[in-house]
Every structure is written in structure tokens, then in C-alpha cells.
Amino acid sequence: MNTLEEPASIEQLRQLARRRLPQQVFDFIDGGADDELALRRNRHELQSAPLVGRALVNVTSIDTTCTIFGKPLAAPLVVAPMGACGLAWPRADVEIARAAASVGIPYVLSTFANTGIEDLADAAEGRLWFQLYPLRDRALRHGLVHRARVAGYEVLVVTVDVPVPGNRERDHSHSRSSLTGLVKNVAGLIWRPRWCWGIACHGLPRFPNAAAGAGAAALAQRAGAQVDATFDWDELARVRDRWPGTLVVKGIQHTNDVQRLASLGMDGIWLSNHGGRQLDAAPGPLSLLQSVTQIQRGHSILIADSGFRRGSEVFKALISGADAVALGRSVLYGAAVAGRAGALHALQIIQRELVQTMAMCGVTHIPAVTSPPCQPTP
């Protein structure tokens, strides 16, 4: 696809996405909470951590395959759950899930996706996980778990870092109903004909799994308002009772929470600051991994996300103790530019960079990443 011959990096895809999407939609995807400190901290931390190259290793064959929850993955990558992806591209959930399937990694469908649980299972052939927000409406919440199980989703991911909506100021600025704001938003659409055409053909995205029914700017607020602020350890245990399969808890930062989750036998712990969209003071992904791996190694599978835009950064997370890295915006920028082909392109960029980094660090297969050969010696 022509538009995709050019972008060589995720940042270039991001710039193309900025040009294709209405400002309001781009900001919904790109933005963070409060002063966007966590957003910047994630990037700074991942970019600035050094790696020390290794020499004189035969690296003609690099193998990125690995095993997570007893199943093979083509690379230690997962596509993170993202609500309202349909604002970026028509049927984006399906398009991204197909891209993930074609590179052999799982796709996590959000509670606030624009595609129904069963519809995605029918449309995408790959490995599917379902992300559950603990909705206030318990019947709806339990119904989602049941539907995911019946539809054959492999893993349930319970997101616990949205007890209240994050303060996304970019979104607020768009939703202010001043006349100038309104005029600016409508005028901006004139310059986004391809996006408008997509909406004209497919309609505004709906939320078939949860009754969010909101536009881009209000989504975080309305979705957050649907999440049950009383959800606690007892409630998590109830979800565990309803889901006999693999269970992952997403949005964990504190080592006490990690220890408690591990002692409860959770299969996976997903370290995250929600891509800088929730607690603005939260540590970045490498700091989280370093604190957690000091207290637990090998109990639960560790997934890390927030800010990953390069394969070298994925490698840094792996040597810091992650079993896999989840990619959010990196893939969504690609989908915003060219649907499935764009998402695939983004995943291929990250995979190619991961292979290059492994070669330059003298690591030929993923299990060997766990030994720390590539960190600077103190």
C-alpha cells in the first residue's frame, strides 16, 4: 500500500495519523492525563535506558518465538485493549485483530470496543483475549465474562486502574461547547475527507458490549462513569470464580498488589500506567518492571505496557523481566492510517526492530533474553 511505503517508524505513522484524523479523535488517542507527565515519562524512560551491544556472536538466525500461558507466540507481543478504535478506522477492532493474527500474536478486545464479542470471534481467526472493565451493572459485567467464555476467548484481562476516569484535558477542551470550539471542530472536518467518508459509509461507531454510546471526547468520562469504583479484592475473587481459564489483572503498579495477586494465583500481572491516561504521577514501564522483578520472578507471567514505540524498547522490557510487551497506540496509529495494512505495518516495524536489537545485543532467541547480558555493568 502506497501510503505505507514511506513510514519507517511508529513516530512517522503517528504523524500520518495526525494528518488523517480530526484533531478531536487524534487527541483522544494520543493524549494523556493531567499534564501528560506520565505520557512523556514513559517515552523518556524507554528511550534513555542504554543497551550494551555484544560482539562475536553468530546471529544469522534470530528466533523471536516464545510461550505465554502455555501457548506459542511468534513474538513476545500482545495488542493492548483499546476502546473506541472505530473512531480511527471503520471496524478497526476486526482489522487490527486480523493484523495481529497474521503476525501470530494475540489481540485483546476492549469492553468498550466497537465490535461485539461474538462478532470479532467470527471475523478474526487469531488468538483473542477479552478485557473486562468491572462495570457497575453487575449483570452486564457477568454477562460479558460468560459471553467471552462461550465465544472461546483464551484469556480474560481485568483492568483495575480506572476506578475513576482519568483527567484527559485534551478531551475536555474539545468537548467544551463554546461556539468557537464548535466552529473549529466542524471546520476541521473539511480537511479530513477520507475520515468523513469512512464515517459516512459505516456510521458512527457503536459500543455493542457496553452501553457507552459516546463520542470521542466524552468517551473516557462516560466509560469511566460506568466502571464500579467499589470493585475490590473480594470482587476480583468473584470474577476468578466465574472464569476458570487464564486470568490476567491489568493496570498494576504497586509491589504489594503484585505480591497479593501472585499469592491469589493470578496467571498474569499486567504492569501499566494505562499509557499515561490515568495517574499522571505513575512510574514508567521499566521502573515498574524493576521494582516488581525484585520481589517476584517466575510466579506469574508479567506483561508490561505504556509508551512502547520501538522494538529496542521491547527488548529493554524483556531484559528487565517482562515476559511480553503490550502495544497500544503504536498499532492504533497504523490502523488510523490504513486499517489492517497500517496495523500490520506497525507490528512489522516493531518486530523488525526487535530482531535487529537482538542481533546487535548477541541474543538469538527469546529465552536467552532473561540473562542480563546487555545492561551496562555498574
Positions marked active-site: 274
Q: How far is the CB of 160 from ligand FMN (least distance, A)?
A: 9
Tell which one of 7, 22, 76, 83 touches ligand FMN (CB under 6 A): 83
Alpha carbon distance 125, 86 (integer Å): 19
Neighbours of 122 (CB within 10 A): 12
Contact call for residues 245 and 149 (beta carbons, < 8 A): yes
Phi, psi of 177 (to 5 degrees): -90, 35
Cell (9 digits) for 59: 546471529
Within 10 angstroms of residue 201's Cβ, the number of other Cβ atoms is 8
Does position 327 interact with ligand FMN (CB under 6 A)? The reply is yes
Residue 245, C-beta contacts closer than 8 angstroms, at least 6 positions apart: 149, 154, 155, 156
The owner of cell 505504556 is 306
Closer residue to ligand FMN, CB minimum distance, 82 or 145: 82
Pick from 25, 73, 80, 288: which binds ligand FMN (CB under 6 A)?
80
Residue 91 is a binding residue for ligand FMN (CB under 6 A): no
Pick the binder of ligand FMN from 24, 64, 110, 351 (CB under 6 A). 110
Smallest Cα–Cα separation from 319: which of 279, 248, 371? 371
* Collapsed DSSP state (helix, strand, coil) of residue 152: coil
**Residue 77 vs 360, nearer CB to ligand FMN:** 77
Q: Which of 50, 41, 48, 43 is nearest to 378 (CA)?
A: 50
Which residues 6+ apart lie within 8 Å of 258 measured at CB? Answer: 252, 269, 292, 295, 296
**41 is a site residue for ligand FMN (CB under 6 A):** no
CB closer to ligand FMN, 160 vs 338 = 160
Contacts to ligand FMN from residues 128-157, by CB under 6 A: 131
Residues 10-39 that bind ligand FMN (CB under 6 A): 29
Task: State the Cα–Cα distance between residues 5 and 371, nearest whole angstrom.
Answer: 36
Residue from 112, 129, 130, 315 in contact with ligand FMN (CB under 6 A): 112
CB of 192 to ligand FMN, least distance (A): 18
Q: Which of 130, 153, 308, 333 binds ligand FMN (CB under 6 A)?
A: 308
Beta strand 66-68 with 71-73: parallel, antiparallel or unpaired?
Answer: antiparallel
Beta carbon nearer to ligand FMN, 85 or 319 = 85
From the CB of 279, what's the least distance to ligand FMN, in Å? 12
Instruction: Return the residue of 168, 250, 316, 340 that touches ligand FMN, per CB under 6 A.
Output: 250
Residue closer to ligand FMN by CB (options 124, 130) is 130
CA distances from 19 to 13, 24, 189, 247 (A): 10, 12, 11, 38
- Nearest distance in Å: CB 370, ligand FMN: 23
> Near ligand FMN by CB under 6 A, which window of 77-85, 296-304, 346-354, 363-371?
77-85
Q: Note the residues at the interface with ligand FMN (CB under 6 A).
A: 29, 80-83, 110-112, 131, 159, 250, 272, 274-275, 277, 305-308, 327-330
